[in-house]
Amino acid sequence: MIIVPIALLLNAFFPVAIKIILVLGGLYLAFEGVEKIIEYLFHRSKVEHQGIVAHQEMDAAAENAKVKSCCHHRLYPVE
């Protein structure tokens, strides 16, 4: 709702700003597109991905151990 009045004010007082904003938006979208293409072409192999998943599972187990060892376990039992 606020974008249209801002665009009209920019068009009335500073029309060059609209072109600059559009060019910056286009550059951003181009950057995101190139990033997706590079990610698609040079993605990680499954072996590396499995190592990351295993590491995350170990982190989750360590966090659960911390929660179980918390001093509040008498008041709020963790199962």
**pLDDT per residue of the chain (79 residues) written in tens, 0 to 9:** 898 999 899 999 998 999 999 999 999 999 999 999 999 898 866 655 666 666 666 677 777 776 676 655 556 655 5
Residue corresponding to tokens 């179980």: 68
Q: What is the pLDDT of residue 25?
A: 96
Residue corresponding to tokens 């997706």: 36
Q: What is the pLDDT of residue 61?
A: 72
Residue corresponding to tokens 């951003």: 28
| pTM assigned to the model | 0.48
Question: Count of H helices and E strands in the chain?
Answer: 3, 0
Six-digit token string for 56: 């995350």
